[in-house]
Amino acid sequence: MSVDDLAPFDFALPPEQIAQHPPAERDGGRLMLLDRESGRIEHSEIRALAAQLREGDLLVTNATRVLAARLRGHKASGGAAEALLLGPADGEGRYRALIRHSGRLRAGRKYRLGNPALDAELLSVDAGGIGTLGFEPGVDPYTAGETPLPPYIRRDAAQTEDETRYQTTFARVPGSIAAPTAGLHLSARLLAELADRGIERAEVVLHVGLGTFRPLRQEDLTNHRLHAEYFELPESTATAVASARARGGRVVAVGTTATRVLETRATDDRNVRAGSGTTELFLAPGDRFRAVDALLTNFHLPRSSLLLLVAAFAGRENVLAAYAEAVRERYRFYSYGDAMLIQATPC
């Protein structure tokens, strides 16, 4: 299916419901329960997640780690400047970046960025407005960066709490410029309780990049593809999925990023193949899910690829009705907000 109109995936959200800080405790958020078949909604808490799952289920989490990819500073000629590093480019000391400042981007412009301040030069700008920054050889710009909070978290700079709370407890593979936010809710205590109840856990990696959070473009809808993002699905996770299937357990994806990895590597028998590479997978209503049986996810931006994925999993009408209920019940939205567990509830 090719979605060609995003208007049906819009909704109104009071600005005060956009979470600006994480809850006092990592697992202290609210949890909406959505039956993907009937659309029935119930209200619970993240701490009660284990009670909503079943012995034998397999929880699949994204082990990516968020890089200190935001560098603030100024142009050498004066005026504030900011860069969001998107990863290495070809050549030593070169990095792709989104760069913001007054005036146009032009090759040759020089900057002082980060803390401690580093010298950088804009070497080129591509047709999409992404620049290539050159740093001195041997310099790692991430050592001068800070946590790259989303723009809807309205504060001038990341705070101390963000260094830990905008990172999952199981983050271990550096590479993302945004957190896999559903995983932010899973405290060490909650993970231990899930294990005690016979709910296993396996890992994938998807490095969240530009494609996950930028606004959808018409060419994305037309081509039914997103910006490529690197993933890894280990052999141990493929084995864990097969074992869960064999014992009658369900595969519960923690977040849309884990979902995209599992569905990228899904087989017709509802297992997955190990592997690594890049994925452009774009899931929208009408697409079939082969590997994922249940989904833990935050509440997402309107008209976003993340919302379309959730609508593909549970149905657009069910999801938008749940979002309307979340607004009425004063749920907290987006990265530091509350969560939703979508599954087919047993009769």
Q: Is 5 exposed, middle or buried (0-12, 13-18, 19+ CB in 10 A)?
A: exposed
For 293-347, the three-class secondary structure string (H helix, E strand, C coil) is CEEEEECCCCCCHHHHHHHHHHCHHHHHHHHHHHHHCCCCECCCCCEEEEECCCC
Tell me the C-alpha distance between 227 and 219, whole Å.
11
In a domain, 2, yes or no: no
Q: Is residue 249 part of a domain?
A: yes
Under 8 Å CB-to-CB from 147, ≥6 apart: which residues? Answer: 66, 68, 70, 158, 162, 163, 166
Beta bridge partners of 118: 113
| Same structural domain, 54 and 172 | yes
* Domain match, 225 and 92 both: no
Q: Indicate if 232 and 202 belong to the same structural domain.
A: yes
What is the pLDDT tens value at each position of the chain, 347 positions in all?
457 788 899 999 999 999 999 999 999 999 999 999 999 999 999 999 999 999 999 999 999 999 999 999 999 999 999 999 999 999 999 999 999 999 999 999 999 999 999 999 999 999 888 999 999 999 999 999 999 999 899 988 888 899 999 999 999 999 999 999 999 999 999 999 999 999 999 999 999 998 666 777 777 777 788 888 999 999 999 999 999 999 999 999 999 999 999 999 999 999 999 999 999 999 999 999 999 999 999 999 999 999 999 999 999 999 999 999 999 999 999 999 999 999 986 64
Are both 120 and 56 inside the same structural domain? no
- Under 8 Å between Cβ of 319 and 39: no
- Judge contact between 124 and 47, C-beta under 8 A: no
- Three-class SS state of 230: strand
Domain, as residue range, for 188: 7-66+160-343
Please identify, among 117, 144, 171, the residue that sits at the C-terminal boundary of a domain: 144
Q: Does a structural domain hold residue 155?
A: no
Nearest to 36 by CA among 331, 245, 296: 296
**Are 33 and 110 in a shared domain?**
no
Contact 4, 221 (CB under 8 A): yes
DSSP codes, 24-80: SSTT-SEEEEEETTT--EEEEEGGGHHHHS-TT-EEEEE-EEE---EEEEEETTSSE
Answer yes or no: do 210 and 309 share one domain. yes
One domain for residues 34 and 172: yes
Neighbours of 142 (CB within 10 A): 15
**Count of the separate structural domains present in the chain:** 2
Task: State how far Cα 337 lies from the chain centre.
Answer: 13
Rounded Cα–Cα distance for residues 269 and 251 (Å):
13
- Which of 96, 117, 144 is the last residue in one of the domains? 144
Pairing of strands 225-233, 275-281: antiparallel
Same domain for 174 and 46, yes or no, is yes
Distance of CA 175 to the CA centre of its chain: 12
Provide the token pair at 185.
């809710």
165 and 74 assigned to the same domain? no
Whether the bond into 15 is cis, omega within 30 of 0: no
Domain check: are 62 and 77 in the same one? no
Pair 119, 220 in one domain: no
pTM of the model: 0.94
